[in-house]
Amino acid sequence: MTLEEFGELIGTIGIPAVLGYYKNAQATPYIAYAATEKNCIYADGRCIYAEEWIALLFVSNTRIPETEALIEDLLTENGLAFGNPELDYDEKQGIHTVTYYFQLE
């Protein structure tokens, strides 16, 4: 599955989705997703090897467990294994972010 195909897949759950890291309290709820590198091996201060992962961020003004479950079901049904999501709350902007990391095969 390519990143473009993933974008089409995530669009099927009916929540606006954007490619790239994006945080805007006025636009919530929405999904942002982007390729990211994890598990870098460094030599001379540079990453010489890294695994390419996808970071999927569900951004909302309040926690929405039903939508989080919908996202997790979609990932699981499509064979996209993810670990425990990272939860974050930005008090200044009033934004909750749930971040999932997984690899596209």
CA-closest candidate to residue 19, choices 27, 30, 82, 68: 30
Scored b (16 or more CB within 10 A) or e, 86-96 reads eeeeeeeeebb
pLDDT in tens, 44-69: 888 888 778 889 999 998 889 999 99
Mean pLDDT of the chain: 87
Q: What is the spatial distance between Cα 38 and Cα 67, in angstroms, rounded to a whole number? A: 26
**Confidence at 23, pLDDT banded by 50, 70, 90:** low
pTM for the model stands at 0.82
